[in-house]
Amino acid sequence: MVQGEETVHSQIAALFHQAQEGQITHRKTSSLLKKILQSSDETSHEKEFTASFFHMTSILLSVKKQDIYVQKMFKFICSFFAYACESEKEPGGSRMYRFLENMMIFLLRGTEAKDKSVRYRVCFLLANCMQHLNEIRSDVLWNAIKERMVPRLYDKEANVRVQAVNGMARMQTYVEEAGHAPIMERYIEMMRHDPSADVRKAAMMNMDINEYTIPYILERCADVDVGIRKILFKKRMSDIDWRWLTVEQRQLLLLHGLTDRDEMVKQGCLKMVFDGWMKHSENNLVILLSSLDVVSNVKVAEELLKGYFATITKLPEHNFDEKYWENLTPETIVYWRFFCEHINDHTELDVGDYIPSLSKYTEYLKVYQGHFRKSPEESQLAYEFIINQMLSVLKMLDFSDEVGRRVFYEEIKTLLMDEKSAETTLPLLVDCLERLCEDEKEFTRVMIDILTDIGELIERNDLPNQMEAMTLEEYSAEDLEQQSLLATIKCLYLIKVMLQKAKLSHVENVSLEGIIQEMILPSIESEIAIIQERGLECLGLICTLDKQSSIEYMPIFLSFVNLIEDSSKIKAIQIVFDLIILFGLNSFPDCVSPFNNETLNLLNVLKKCLYSKDPQVQTLTVQGFSKLFLFNILNEPEILGEQSLNYFINLFSFSSIENQSLVTSHPSIHPGEKDSMLNIQQIAHQLIDWTDSTKCLKNPSSIQLFHPDLALELATEALNEPAAYAKHFVQIISKLKLNHSIKLETLESLHSTLSSLQRLISSIDSIQIHSTQNDLDNSNIESEISELLNQDPNDIKQQLEENQKIELDEISDISDLLNDD
């Protein structure tokens, strides 16, 4: 028996040695290894094989360093697992299963090893074994795997968590008595929240696909890691039939994929659509579009069509005849639009061949407007979409046809006055009207005529007649008042759209003065919030065209900011900040409120908004002040202290030297509470980064302007702090950078202050008994200061006088400490 054991062990050892030569021999070696296991029917022989295999594996697991030969051996073991599992159903299969079962029990012992490399290798081997094993027949083994591997899903090492995810993938179907699947829920949690991209990717790729998990898998289309987004579209979505997805899920997936900033993700998304989804849509893009609900999310359809026409090599043939135009749907009209845009922008073909004459086009526009007016509410959105798409191809219409031009012009005016026209259609109609007018003054006069006609309709009570649904007698006073209100709102909206296109002020374009006096200013005095708000928007646009107007009407805006507490205040805050950015803070002196004769200071009124109880008011005010700081319009440390520290301060600090000087005026750093979420080191690290002059965009000489003075200030302040806190300041000083010119006076003062600080640190032990770790920390601090003070400042003085520009290595040990990260 001893001789047999030696033979089995020596044979296995020889095969393990042979496997180190390379992967080419792994298949053959695995076959020989299996033959050794199956060469005898004796149970003792099987146990000897298993014991020898475990012994060789244990040696490999205990190797701490990464070794190429160790990696080859683990690949060999995995190769043997795979080969063994392939033949499990053969006559000797039961023996092979027993070996694999014992191997897994053996490996589970190492899942809680202290050495992270052992935990990784054990989980790696377990994952590969479970991947190739057809089933786990033993309940004991199943429970042991669950008990030992679940904690590894939360291992502090990411590579261990990845292998644990791979290993437990087949256990997701396990359901507890309460009815929930704990493993699957853990996978979902890891896929959504694990900080490691590799772990999130492993969880996503191993996740079972069902109704419950699909929404969580689709969330990865917005993952911060580009690799996860790529693999989602290229591999994972191939396992999911797109017909299982809801319309909202399809839209979300395509919107993220087609607008991704990484080109490879975009290509993966397009490949998913055109190689997969199109096959289930009869290879018809219009049918595919119908499954995406283009009316509710036209951006998805637009991005998809852009990608389609950008990838095709041959233009598809289409016959856009009368039958096509008489039966338009949202899908066919948006497809036609992008087809024409592609021809117009990327081919030499005449796009006019695919567009009806302007007169005929106007007829179709009138027909679909009629359908829009008469259709029930649930169908109106589709017709509204069709009309908007028809008006979006303005640049491709042929306006050289004078007859067609006049017909189109009259129809546009009619649609603008039509109280049934959708609000989303109005900007497109105004665009068309501007295109048909010779210049801005004519455009303004035509718009005023349209606004006047709408007002006359109200005065003549003609609105009910236009509804074609009721007679005048059937309308109550409330109905007429409601229609008048809607018409006023529409007029203000048209004025807003018109002013957004304006380039001439009301001084240069006198037609605007009548609009200001007759419509805009009265609407601001309205008690109806939406009219008041739209009136403010229009007046704000007027002010952007002329500095004098902004000065004249600023009291109105400030009064709304100061007195009103509704949506009008939000709009007024936005307008005030826009005007300050446009014309400068000094353009607006103190003014008197037109409502209560109170004297208003612009800056004081805006400062009050920083303390508003309304979070939206606070947000807009902080954003506004941030812009003023970034554009160097405002320079007040008090207001700067109210700004967001997340994004704004970084951008603000690095934009100019002046801004960094404001950041250095921040109150002195003091150690926080014991349980504070942010300790002094974290805060100091951030402030040091913000005051690093070498990172400033407007500091071409890269001179370090602030850190020398900060070093002296912190060292001085450390002397005034309790002795136990002084070491924190030394650690902060060590992070400062003094790699360029330093004033001699600053260097001498720093040397003297640090000498005193060293004596303070040394006194800690005599004042208070510390733990071993604290003693070690204090010893290190004293050592750092000692090195700092090794060189006499007089020697440095002489060196500074010889060379005014002293580099880091010329400042000796002081700068060595200050640069030690």
In tens, the pLDDT along 667-681 reads 455 544 444 445 666
Helix or strand or coil: residue 192?
helix
| Contact (Cβ atoms closer than 8 angstroms) between residue 23 and residue 72 | yes
Q: Is the pLDDT of residue 418 over 80?
A: yes
Residue 88's pLDDT is 57
Give dist(CA 7, CA 124) in Å, integer: 30
Tokens 């109880």 belong to residue: 613
Instruction: Give the helix/strand (H/E) hosting 491.
Output: helix 477-500
Find the range with the poorest average confidence among 8-17, 202-211, 507-516, 545-554: 8-17
Residue 798's pLDDT is 52
pLDDT band, very low/low/confident/very high, at 200 (cuts 50, 70, 90): very high
Residue 468's pLDDT is 43
Q: What is the DSSP letter of 24?
A: G
Q: Is the pLDDT of residue 328 over 80?
A: yes
Amino acid sitting at position 556: I
pLDDT band, very low/low/confident/very high, at 710 (cuts 50, 70, 90): confident
Residue 796's pLDDT is 45
- Is 647 or 319 the better-scoring residue by pLDDT? 319
Q: Is the pLDDT of residue 542 over 70?
A: yes
Tell me the pTM: 0.72
Residue 35's pLDDT is 84
Residue 741's pLDDT is 56
Q: Region 265-287: what's the mean pLDDT?
A: 90
Residue 464's pLDDT is 45
Q: Is the pLDDT of residue 306 over 90?
A: yes
Give dist(CA 353, CA 520) in Å, integer: 45
Q: Which two tokens stand for residue 756?
A: 């005193």
Q: Which two tokens stand for residue 159?
A: 């590579």
Give dist(CA 121, CA 132) in Å, integer: 17
pLDDT digits (tens, 9 = 90+) for 372-403: 999 998 889 999 999 999 999 988 888 888 99
pLDDT digits (tens, 9 = 90+) for 750-801: 777 777 777 766 665 444 434 333 333 444 544 544 544 444 445 544 544 4
Q: What is the DSSP letter of 516?
A: I
Residue 431's pLDDT is 94
Q: Region 182-197: what's the mean pLDDT?
A: 92
Residue 233's pLDDT is 95
In DSSP terms, 592 is beta-bridged to 599
